[in-house]
Amino acid sequence: MNCEGGRETAQLIEQQGGNALFIETNVSDSKQVKGLVSATVETYGKLDILFNNAGIGNPDVKSVDLEEEDWDRIIDINLKGVFLGIKYAVPEMKKTGGGAIINTSSLLGIKGQKYLAAYNASKAGVILLTKNAALEYGRDHIRVNAIAPGVIDTQIIDGWKNDERKWPIISRANALGRIGTPEEVANAVLFSYKKV
């Protein structure tokens, strides 16, 4: 969990004249996610937008060599966390006439890649969970979308950067011939939240 980054982001928002609330939350813990949503509603009076973005990577191992504990941890953070966010945000959004939810999947949730079984499965699950929620809550004026970025320069890929054999291939495998930036993902997220 990158609490320092969360605090820094909240501070930057406030320095720009905005209002921010940082609450350390384990997204795989139902009570903590419920508490996060409650604190947000208590602070701001409502919940308009939810961005389910927490995620962790996968050890590069064959499926049968993946430890069960690693599988559980990845599924809990990457998929269950999205489920819990939706579970507690939707009722609050319905109270105020709607909202927008965006979930972070991955290109690997669509195409997969060997040695990343749990990550691939979790991100594929996010895509179908997103579709399900969109079908269920669209009539409540809650838009539910997912983004599926390729390789983005975040902590999740730090191990790849040190692999002299893999990194040149990975970094050029995207359509742009380079890895993406968090700012590019943020722009896609902001576009998804804009009212139509």
Which positions are annotated as active-site residues? 119
166 Cβ partners below 8 Å, 6+ apart?
160
SS3 161: helix
Can you give the three-state secondary structure of 66-133, one letter per residue? CCHHHHHHHHHHHHHHHHHHHHHHHHHHHHCCCEEEEEECCCHHHHCCCCCHHHHHHHHHHHHHHHHH
CA-based torsion, 156, 116, 191, 2: positive or negative:
negative
For residue 103, the cross-strand partners are: 52, 146
